[in-house]
Amino acid sequence: MKFIAMRELKISPSKVLDRLGKDDVVVTRHGKPAAALVPLDEDTLDEFVIAHHPTLLSEAEKARIEYEKKGGIGHDEMKALIKKPRRRAKRKGARRG
């Protein structure tokens, strides 16, 4: 793991990104940790997003529990719901002519 100052990141961001292939980088501000840079590629991006999303895992768990309690709908039923035209809400104060 490599520690660099924020100033170094501002001056030469390409060099810092090149280092990411070798080490994780901790960026410091006034000598204190401010951020961590980790290498990402197309294969690891999804895992990173899932692991760092603040509510995604809890939302997925809630959905799983609800599915186990209530059951779900089949593929054909879902397609029918998606294709079903929605009714337009009436606007307040709108006059019919």
The proportion of the chain whose per-residue pLDDT surpasses 90, expressed as a percent, equals 26
Measured in whole angstroms, how far is the alpha carbon of residue 60 from the centre of its chain? 13
- Residue 30 reports pLDDT greater than 90: yes
Q: How confident is the model at residue 95 (pLDDT cuts 50, 70, 90)?
A: low
pTM (predicted TM-score) = 0.52
Choice between 63 and 29, residue whose per-residue pLDDT is larger? 29
Name the pairing type of β-strands 2-5 and 25-29: parallel
Q: pLDDT per residue over 43-69, tens digit each?
A: 888 888 888 887 888 888 898 898 888
Helices 56-70, 42-52: axis angle to 10 degrees equals 80
Tokens of 73: 């709908």
